[in-house]
Amino acid sequence: MALVRDSTHGASREAIERFERVTGFALPHVYRNFLLYWNGGRVEPEPQIRSAANGEVVTLLSSLFGLNRERHADLEANLHSVADALGKGLLPIGHDPGGNLIVLACEPPHEGEVFFVSLERLDDEEPLSANDLICVAKSFGDILSLAEEAQHAV
């Protein structure tokens, strides 16, 4: 079974290195490997994403972004569309069925952690605060594990 749909091939090492160079993001090893193998796509079935703090369901994971893909599914395009609203060190890596973002922290103190950010909050004129970020995983590997578990449950 495929972890993601609509993934025709992995990203090249050169494309990943270019992304890191152009954006200044140092991607975690597990996320780099995901891009090399899958390079984004639709996640099916959509796994439940829970708060790391209390285990409550926050959303479903619908899609993970890749490099050099259609605009709505492209990592760099999505970063540029929300970079100012997200702030330094947060990389949008996917979205839920409603378009809310799943973001990866690429800088301390939360480096490697994955967060949910409401699209409504991004449209607000106020900068994001720590209260706007809901931690949903301690690592991107945990997100991949949720997707794999959802597939095995079908």
Tell me the per-residue pLDDT of 48-92, one tens digit each, with 9 for 90 and over.
Answer: 999 999 999 999 999 999 998 888 899 999 999 999 889 889 999
Using only C-alpha atoms, the chain has a radius of gyration, in whole angstroms, of 14
**In whole angstroms, what is the distance from residue 30 CA to residue 27 CA?**
8
Beta bridge partners of 50: 57
Q: Is the pLDDT of residue 6 over 90?
A: no
Parse the chain into domains and list their residue ranges: 4-152
Q: Is the pLDDT of residue 106 over 70?
A: yes
CATH hierarchy code of domain 4-152:
3.40.1580.10
CA–CA distance from 3 to each of 39, 41, 46, 114 (Å)?
11, 9, 10, 18
Q: Is the pLDDT of residue 117 over 90?
A: yes
What is the predicted pLDDT for the residue at 154? 66
